[in-house]
Amino acid sequence: MSIRKRPNIFRGINVERLLDLIPILIALFAAFIVASFLLIALDANPITAFSAMFEGAFGSQNATAETLVKATPILFVAIGITIAFRGGVINIGGEGQMIAGALGAITVTLMIGESLNWLVIPLALFAGFIAGGIYGGIAGFLKAYFDVNEILSTIMLNQIAVQLMNFLLNGPLLDPESGGFNNIPKTARISEVAQLPRLAIFDFFSRTRLHYGLIIAIIIAIIIYVLLWRTTIGYRIRAVGLNQRASRYAGINVERQIVLSMFLAGGMAGLAGAVQVLGLNYRLQTDGSPAGFTANAGFNGIVAALFGGLNPLGAIPASTFFGALLVGAQKMQREVGVPASMITAINGLIVVFVVSSQIFILRRTRRRVGEAIGQMDDNHTEKLKEGEN
Amino acid sequence: MAETVLTNKRRIELLEMRGIVKRFPGVLACDQIDFTVKSGEVHTLLGENGAGKSTLMKMLYGLYQPDEGEIRINGKVASIRSPQEAIQSGIGMIHQHFMFVPSLTVAENVALGLKTSFGSMLDLKEISKGLSALSDRYNLKIDPDIPIWQLAVGEQQRVEILRAIYKGADLLILDEPTAVLTPQEVDDLFRILNQMRQDGHALIFISHKLHEVLAISNRITVLRDGAQVGMIDVEEATKQNLAEMMVGRPVVLQYDIPPLERGSVRLELNQVSARSNRGNLGLNDVSLSVYGGEIVGVAGVSGNGQQELAQVIAGLRPIEAGTITVNGQNISGKSPEKMNSLGVSYIPEERMVDGVIKEFTVAENLILQDHWREPFANNGLMLNFNVIQDACRQAIKDYEIKTPSTETPIKSLSGGNIQKLVLARELARNPQVLIAAQPTRGVDIGASEYIHQRILAERETGTAILLISEDLDEIRALSDRIIVMFEGRIVGIVERKDVNIQALGAMMAGVH
Ligand SMILES: Nc1ncnc2c1ncn2[C@@H]1O[C@H](COP(=O)(O)OP(=O)(O)O)[C@@H](O)[C@H]1O
Ligand SMILES: [Mg+2]
């Protein structure tokens, strides 16, 4: 054991941490076992059911593409939730922030039209980020300066966002060519220059709905990873998230960090909304419920963030997993005839098992460190001193 | 039950632990320990943190099973497989953390633990009566009918003792009982222990505070890293030889302090008042100057304004009135960050809450205030990992911090090593003014000595140092001047040469 220099681009990823994946995999396995019993109780063959699920999620290029399409907004939200959690704020407002972001993006897109050519895409994404960020920032501001519980405020802001969306889509933003109030409320279709291109890798995924939003999300995951662990901004966010008193002692403006984490978290969810508009639907439309637009990505992102170990890079596989679960569920439902709520149940099981396994990992880490210190003796400290040159 | 307890005939005349070995994964916690205790004596277990004291006692109390060795009571081999069996054999243990239902009365809490009673009215009256009798006998001053939540920590500890005696403990293990007590409460505890000793109880006292050990023990067994270093009678024991046995090398308890070379005034408080968290004037009209190259000790029972004093200087607490100047510059009401850049370093009293972020690594904690400054960060944005790592390795080397790596979460280090890191960080700034609040509380003797040497070295470089401590020995060993605080005011100032311990004690108690 030595104090070693670690070439750390990806600080925090090493073999020991990879070993930590094992309990997660065991937890997943256990969740599927319990789910199997539920399926048997419903007179379905679990093997058939799960293979149908896997088929549905990854069985073809199109299935895989759909999985990734579903995973994209979840990933954005999960990155944002990760930032908030690290900053000690619990953000339940992903849904509302997604809507705010989508509204920001569509407004800017429709206003610009075709006049700026491809520049419209970065501008729209930026608008989505800012709109979502401000929406999240409100909750952060209320928490930091007026001690308003962020769980309550974000839930209420979700409601407000839905009402705002319904109002705008039935009025100012209503598609002038649409049939009016009887139809699904929706905006006009965005122009072709504003649409995120489809993502085809050589021949792969051509003729699917997969779009560049996924790439953007992955790049952002990496950026946020760097932000959190390689910059002073991330240092302050994490410091405040762990210990406000020590942060104050260190001269950090705690209130500002809380607003900032919520702004960034909202901004990420805002991007999720913007990307749904620019890459998938090419317009904003809703059936009047929040899930009508977000497909619950604002909530699924919370689970994916936890599942990804509150690490933006971990959120990538975690979101893919939940995308697969959602897409595969439809196939399973069709093939085996179990209710779709079964998927919600499996979701819940996974959360319970994974959270338990996280506790296990925590204990293991503690023990590991304890042993390392136990093995140390004064000789070791001596060696340390000599081995420095 | 109470009648049997009030006789002088004790069930445990002699308890012997022979060749006790206990291993934990990767740690040999107890290695061939022999330990005996007789009726009517206090046998102390002395050793630094992690020496194996608690582990040894937990085996006696049935919480752990020894891997090797045997326990004999009055010469007969006894197997103690659970705390219930320990209690049946007449062994009681007072842990550091008390186990009570706060809303219930003392008597009800005692009743809860008794197998025979289900807390019926009749039983409770009996218990209450028995407890009163015992309380009187041992001068515990506990009213059995008062709810636990109304009691102070020291009183709760006496309830634990009362409960153990009531359950028939003839041998009582006290695991670091003084750690949670004020000096006054320690005196009370010792009076109780003396009474119990006279009554023929066998007592095992655990501590790492030398003056306490010398005050209460008949015999002292010293453990170090799981091994038995030696056993001596109190008559042969001195602070010096005990400290050496504990640490395993000669330890300096009396420092050679070079004569005072006073520089200019570095820190000045002029009629400063500030509110405490409770809203009253925790700091009341305090005026004070600290000169370069001088250590001013602040003595006092904790809670008399010392914390507020440190916090106003560090910029962590707003002041109500008065001015604070550093090097002649008025800094009243400035932010902690501003104080830092003016060269004020603060070693906070509650190091685990204020001084470090437990979950952060050793390296991350080293840059707490300066994380955004050159050279730790480029342009205030990108953290410069190689520089941070190098600085951390240097600090580990210079300050002899025991840690597996720079990337270890700091909470898994011992208190002494954490404090050394805080010290390394605060001194790296080359401070003009250093405020050290309880710098060695909960820290091993070895590390304490090291920290003291560092503070003295800082004095040599001309820093103005305010040393706040409840430990009078520490204050006396280091300070050029001592001020005594009582109820938010300075009630006395004493020069090093005029120190009189009785007078200090009286001032601390508010008698002046
Ligand atoms: N339950 C346990 N599991 C593993 N190691 C332990 C356990 N309890 C104590 N230890 C280790 O045994 C050694 C002695 O600890 P302890 O008896 O608590 O010391 P002390 O009470 O003298 O401070 C330490 O190295 C400690 O880390
Ligand atoms: Mg102990």
pTM of the predicted model as reported, rounded to 2 decimal places: 0.79
Mean pLDDT taken over chain B: 90
What is the structure's pLDDT at B380? 92
Q: Distance (Å, rounded) from C-alpha B171 to C-alpha B13? A: 9
Where does the pLDDT of residue B203 fall: very low under 50, low under 70, confident under 90, or very high at 90 and above? very high
Q: What domain count does chain A have? A: 1
Among residues A287, A224, A185, A236, the alpha carbon closest in space to that of A80 is found at A224
What pLDDT digit, counting tens, does each position of B399-458 carry? Answer: 999 898 999 999 888 888 999 999 999 999 999 999 999 999 888 888 899 999 999 999
Among residues A167, A170, A171, A168, the alpha carbon closest in space to that of A184 is found at A170
What pLDDT digit, counting tens, does each position of B367-376 carry? Answer: 999 999 999 9
What is the structure's pLDDT at B301? 82
Where does the pLDDT of residue A374 fall: very low under 50, low under 70, confident under 90, or very high at 90 and above? very low
What is the structure's pLDDT at A109? 95
Answer for the pair B483, B459: CB distance below 8 angstroms, yes or no.
no
**Residue A308 placed within a domain:** yes
Nearest residue by C-alpha to atom 25 in ligand 1: B50
B53 plus B181 within the same structural domain? yes
How large is the average pLDDT for residues A189-200? Answer: 90
- Is A215's pLDDT higher than 80? yes
Q: Distance (Å, rounded) from C-alpha B504 to C-alpha B512? A: 10
**What tokens does B214 get?**
């010398």
**C-alpha dihedral sign at B232, B233, B234, B238:** negative
Q: Distance (Å, rounded) from C-alpha B372 to C-alpha A236? A: 9
- Strand pairing category for B382-383 and B481-486: unpaired
What pLDDT digit, counting tens, does each position of B146-166 carry? Answer: 998 888 888 889 999 999 999
Q: Hey, are the CB atoms on A242 and B26 less than 8 Å from each other? A: no
Task: For residue B122, give the CATH number of its domain.
Answer: 3.40.50.300
Closest ligand to C-alpha of residue B176 is 2
Answer for the pair A86, A237: CB distance below 8 angstroms, yes or no.
yes
Cβ B50 under 6 angstroms from ligand 1: yes
Residue A188 phi/psi, 5-degree rounding, is -65, 160
Q: Distance (Å, rounded) from C-alpha B234 to C-alpha A369? A: 38
Highest mean predicted confidence (pLDDT) among A30-34, A226-230, A296-300: A226-230
What pLDDT digit, counting tens, does each position of B163-200 carry? Answer: 999 988 999 999 989 877 777 788 889 999 999 999 99
Q: Distance (Å, rounded) from C-alpha B369 to C-alpha B402? A: 22
Q: Distance (Å, rounded) from C-alpha A250 to C-alpha B356? A: 9
Of B316, B355, B358, the CB nearest to A248: B316
Tell me the shortest Cα–Cα distance from A2 to chain B, in angstroms. Answer: 7
- Is A20's pLDDT higher than 60? yes
The length of chain B in residues reads 512
Q: Hey, are the CB atoms on B355 and A1 less than 8 Å from each other? A: no
- Judge residue B475's burial from the number of C-beta atoms within 10 Å of its C-beta, 0-12 exposed, 13-18 middle, 19 or more buried: buried
B51 plus B160 within the same structural domain? yes
Closest ligand to C-alpha of residue B223 is 1
Phi-psi region of B38 (alpha: psi -120 to 50; beta: other; left: phi over 0): beta
B239 plus B283 within the same structural domain? no
Answer for the pair B179, B205: CB distance below 8 angstroms, yes or no.
no
What is the structure's pLDDT at A6? 42
**Residue B199 placed within a domain:** yes
A201 in reach of chain B (CB within 8 A): no
- B354 to chain A: nearest residue by CA? A246
**Read out DSSP for B2-62?**
HHHHTSS--S-SEEEEEEEEEEETTEEEEEEEEEEEETT-EEEEE--TTSSHHHHHHHHTT
| Amino acid at the residue A46 | P
- Strand pairing category for B171-174 and B202-207: parallel
Cβ B54 under 6 angstroms from ligand 1: yes
Separation of CA A387 and ligand 1 centre (Å): 29
Nearest residue by C-alpha to atom 8 in ligand 1: B55
B240 plus B280 within the same structural domain? no
B377 in reach of chain A (CB within 8 A): yes
Q: Distance (Å, rounded) from C-alpha B153 to C-alpha B302? A: 14
- Strand pairing category for B227-233 and B265-275: unpaired
What is the structure's pLDDT at B372? 94
B41 plus B135 within the same structural domain? yes
- A367 to chain B: nearest residue by CA? B25
For residue B144, the Cα-to-chain-centroid distance in whole angstroms is: 29
What is the structure's pLDDT at B234? 95
What pLDDT digit, counting tens, does each position of B24-81 carry? Answer: 887 899 999 999 999 999 999 999 888 999 999 999 999 999 999 999 999 999 999 9
What percent of chain B is modeled with pLDDT above 70? 96
Among residues B318, B321, B300, the alpha carbon closest in space to that of B437 is found at B300
What is the structure's pLDDT at A383? 36
Residue of B31, B383, B389 to mutate for A, most A C-beta atoms under 10 A: B383
Q: What domain count does chain B have? A: 2
| Amino acid at the residue B66 | P
What is the structure's pLDDT at B375? 93
**Residue B369 placed within a domain:** no
Domain boundary among B247, B276, B303: B247
How large is the average pLDDT for residues A291-319? Answer: 89
The length of chain A in residues reads 389
B383 in reach of chain A (CB within 8 A): yes
Helix (H) / strand (E) element for A18: namely helix A15-19
**What tokens does A207 get?**
């003729």
Q: Hey, are the CB atoms on B383 and A231 less than 8 Å from each other? A: yes
**Residue A30 placed within a domain:** no
B277 plus B206 within the same structural domain? no
What is the structure's pLDDT at A379? 36
Mutational pocket test of ligand 1: of B22, B24, B93, the residue with most ligand atoms within 8 Å of the beta carbon? B24
**Helix, strand, or coil here: B466?**
strand
Where does the pLDDT of residue A4 fall: very low under 50, low under 70, confident under 90, or very high at 90 and above? very low
Answer for the pair A88, A240: CB distance below 8 angstroms, yes or no.
yes
Residue of B312, B372, B450 to mutate for A, most A C-beta atoms under 10 A: B372
What is the structure's pLDDT at A385? 36
Listed residues: CB within 5 A of ion ligand 2: B 54
How large is the average pLDDT for residues A241-266? Answer: 96
Any idea of the CA torsion for A44, A46, A47, A52, to the nearest 10 degrees?
A: 70
Q: Cα angle at B109 between B106 and B113, to 5 degrees?
A: 140
Please, which residues have CB within 8 angstroms of residue B125's CB and are 6 or more apart in sequence?
A: none
**Residue B450 placed within a domain:** yes
How large is the average pLDDT for residues A311-333? Answer: 91
For residue B150, the Cα-to-chain-centroid distance in whole angstroms is: 24
B202 plus B284 within the same structural domain? no
Task: For residue A84, give the CATH number of its domain.
Answer: 1.10.3470
Please, which residues have CB within 8 angstroms of residue B349's CB and are 6 or more apart in sequence?
A: B306, B307, B310, B437, B438, B441, B468
Q: Distance (Å, rounded) from C-alpha B368 to C-alpha B305? A: 26
Angle between helices A61-86 and A94-112 (to 10 degrees): 110
Answer for the pair A212, A118: CB distance below 8 angstroms, yes or no.
no
A379 in reach of chain B (CB within 8 A): no
Strand-by-strand arrangement of the B76-78 sheet = B76-78, B68-73, B14-24, B27-38, B227-233, B219-224, B42-46, B202-207, B171-174, B91-94
**Read out DSSP for A138-188?**
HHHHHHHHH---HHHHHHHHHHHHHHHHHHHHHTTTS-TTS--TTSPPB-P
The interface predicted TM-score of the complex, written ipTM, equals 0.83
Answer for the pair A67, A324: CB distance below 8 angstroms, yes or no.
yes
**Read out DSSP for B375-425?**
TTEETTTEE-HHHHHHHHHHHHHHTT---S-TTSBGGGS-HHHHHHHHHHH
Answer for the pair A95, A136: CB distance below 8 angstroms, yes or no.
no
- Is B389's pLDDT higher than 80? yes
- B382 to chain A: nearest residue by CA? A231
Where does the pLDDT of residue A366 fall: very low under 50, low under 70, confident under 90, or very high at 90 and above? low
- A375 to chain B: nearest residue by CA? B26
B336 in reach of chain A (CB within 8 A): yes
**Residue B392 placed within a domain:** no
Tell me the shortest Cα–Cα distance from A254 to chain B, in angstroms. Answer: 12
Answer for the pair B68, B23: CB distance below 8 angstroms, yes or no.
no
- Is B16's pLDDT higher than 80? yes
Cβ B51 under 6 angstroms from ligand 1: yes
What pLDDT digit, counting tens, does each position of A107-158 carry? Answer: 999 999 888 888 999 999 999 999 999 999 999 999 999 999 999 999 999 9
Where does the pLDDT of residue A384 fall: very low under 50, low under 70, confident under 90, or very high at 90 and above? very low
What percent of chain A is modeled with pLDDT above 90? 53
**Residue B389 placed within a domain:** no
Cis peptide before B375 (omega within 30 of 0): yes
Of B353, B368, B412, the CB nearest to A373: B412
What is the structure's pLDDT at A363? 65
**Read out DSSP for B336-366?**
HHHHHHTTEEEE-SSIIIII--TTSBHHHHH
Q: Hey, are the CB atoms on B357 and A372 less than 8 Å from each other? A: no
**Residue A265 placed within a domain:** yes
Separation of CA B421 and ligand 2 centre (Å): 23
Q: Higher confidence at residue A288 or residue A75?
A: A75
- Is A292's pLDDT higher than 50? yes
Q: Hey, are the CB atoms on B382 and A6 less than 8 Å from each other? A: no
- Is A13's pLDDT higher than 70? no
B237 plus B269 within the same structural domain? no
Q: Higher confidence at residue B278 or residue A344?
A: B278
What percent of chain B is modeled with pLDDT above 90? 64
Query: The tokens 């106003």 sit on which residue?
Result: B312
**Residue A159 placed within a domain:** yes
How large is the average pLDDT for residues A372-387? Answer: 40
**Residue A244 placed within a domain:** yes
Q: What is the largest CA-CA distance in chain B?
A: 77
Least confident of A225-234, A265-274, B263-272, B325-334: B325-334
Please, which residues have CB within 8 angstroms of residue B315's CB and are 6 or more apart in sequence?
A: B331, B333, B334, B335, B336, B337, B338, B339, B344
Q: How many Cβ contacts (< 8 angstroms) between chains A and B?
A: 106
Separation of CA A368 and ligand 1 centre (Å): 15
Q: Distance (Å, rounded) from C-alpha B509 to C-alpha A116? A: 79
**Residue A279 placed within a domain:** yes
Task: Give buried/exposed letters for B177-196 (b at 16+ CB in 10 A, else e).
Answer: bbeebbbebbebbbebbeeb
Q: Higher confidence at residue A176 or residue B292?
A: B292
Domain that holds residue B233: 2-247
What pLDDT digit, counting tens, does each position of B126-142 carry? Answer: 889 999 999 998 888 89
Where does the pLDDT of residue A206 fall: very low under 50, low under 70, confident under 90, or very high at 90 and above? confident
How large is the average pLDDT for residues B460-481? Answer: 92
Tell me the shortest Cα–Cα distance from A371 to chain B, in angstroms. Answer: 6
Domain that holds residue A57: 43-341
Cβ B55 under 6 angstroms from ligand 1: yes
**Residue B233 placed within a domain:** yes
Nearest residue by C-alpha to atom 1 in ligand 1: B24
- Mark which residues 221-260 of A lie under 8 Å from B by CB: 230-233, 235-236, 238-239, 242-243, 245-251
Q: Which atom of ligand 1 is nearest to the CA of B223?
A: 22
B119 plus B14 within the same structural domain? yes
B436 plus B347 within the same structural domain? yes
B233 plus B330 within the same structural domain? no
Q: Hey, are the CB atoms on A239 and B337 less than 8 Å from each other? A: no
Tell me the shortest Cα–Cα distance from A370 to chain B, in angstroms. Answer: 7
Residue of A3, A227, A229, A238 to mutate for B, most B C-beta atoms under 10 A: A3
Tell me the shortest Cα–Cα distance from B253 to chain A, in angstroms. Answer: 21
What is the structure's pLDDT at A368? 55
- Mark which residues 302-331 of B lie under 8 Å from A by CB: 314, 316
B242 plus B291 within the same structural domain? no
Q: Where are the alpha helices (DSSP H) in A87-119?
A: 94-112
What is the structure's pLDDT at A389? 31
Q: Which residues of B touch A251 (CB under 8 A)?
A: 335-337, 340, 369
